[in-house]
Amino acid sequence: MNRFCLALTKFLTVQTIQKGVVVTLSYTLRENDAQGVIIQETTQENPLVFLFGAGQLLPEFEHNIAGKSQGDEYAFGILAENAYGLYDPEGLVDLPIEIFMEDGRLAEDLLVPGRTLRLQDDAGHVHSAIVKGRGLDTVQVDFNHPLAGKNLYFTGQILSVRQATPDELAHGHVHGPGGVHH
């Protein structure tokens, strides 16, 4: 067998989940436990595809699927403090309504309760916030992650595991189906 065939065989070999592999999986995310309200789902037809160890997912999620292989099923919980953190009441902030003015008019379409806004602070950092309500002079927004304070419970299946390409490793994300196209 020539070097190319050996390299191709190594690239295609199914392996366990570890840093530097591309993982394709389906999952159901519930609040609290296996009987909790469904928060989010992916399917075999529309799976989650990611580069393991690239910091794209919750560290505790990656810890719980490390070492698994194609076909393995999983079920585990993550406490709020190890997921998106505890809910911080100080994250609920009243902002002056003037910052939502565009060309002298109030940007009404931005101020719908439940809408996620991307707001920039004085240092140029961008933060996500959810509109909670509007008063005469202020807009109340919540800077907490929508899942802050929630214990999470995941069930799912590992659909495939493959070695990441050198380009994927260099770029820190998956290319092709389920990934970035560039």
Q: Is the pLDDT of residue 8 over 90?
A: no
Give pLDDT, residue 144: 97
Q: What average pLDDT is seen over the chain? A: 90
- CATH no., domain 89-142: 2.40.10.330
Out of 50-59, 66-75, 111-120, 166-175, least confident range: 166-175
CATH 2.40.10.330 positions along the chain are: 89-142
C-alpha to C-alpha distance for 94 and 92, rounded to whole angstroms: 7
| Pairing verdict, β 101-102 and 105-106 | antiparallel
The band of 177, judged by pLDDT with boundaries at 50, 70 and 90, is low
Lowest-pLDDT range, 22-36, 57-71, 97-111? Answer: 97-111
Share of the chain above pLDDT 70, in %: 89
Give the pLDDT confidence score for residue 9 in this predicted structure: 46
Q: Distance between CA 62 and CA 52 in Å, rounded?
A: 7
What is the CATH code for 11-82+149-168?
A: 3.10.50.40
What are the residue ranges of CATH 3.10.50.40 in the chain? 11-82+149-168
